[in-house]
Amino acid sequence: GSCNIYYGAGGGRIVVDSHVRLWSLRMLLRGIRRWRHRRIVIVSTCFTELSDADAREAGVMLSAAADAVMLVAGEAGAERVDDIRAGAVANLAPAIVLSKSTESRALDWLLRNLGRDDIGLVISEEPSATHERLVAAGLELDRPTMEYDAAAN
């Protein structure tokens, strides 16, 4: 990813990042899972620049890493949301996958549902705009003080 920003929120943390390719998404998710957490909740772009097959693979990865995934449908449309959901349900224990029309609505949902010791991961097409939305919601830039869990995958 290109932008890692940490926020304290409801006793949890929010990490804002962007992705470029599936391999960078895989590395980001692997790193997030290693932090101590109660739940991982992801707000994600619908990966409009990826092929349909790669979008399904992104769905597999998001669902494997998270307890809940909120997709930002935006301009992507229902077919792209369905592609990602199809990948998500391929997991043995898939995450709950929901969608909102805008990132602002998805972030509102995240802020209402993030609890103590949860990690919220926002995969954004425009991390600087996401940063502004979170600051406007009253969150402050925090230092990355997460505890690393060496036993996690």
pLDDT digit string, tens, across residues 25-43: 999 999 888 888 899 999 9
The pLDDT score that the predictor gives to residue 58 is 96
> Which phi and psi (to 5°) does residue 84 adopt?
-65, -40
**Cα distance between residue 140 and residue 123, in whole Å:** 18
Check if the beta carbon of residue 75 is closer than 8 Å to that of residue 45: no
> Which phi and psi (to 5°) does residue 26 adopt?
-60, -45
Residues of the chain with pLDDT under 50: 1, 145-150, 153
Cβ atoms within 10 Å of 107's Cβ, excluding its own: 25
Full-model pTM? 0.87
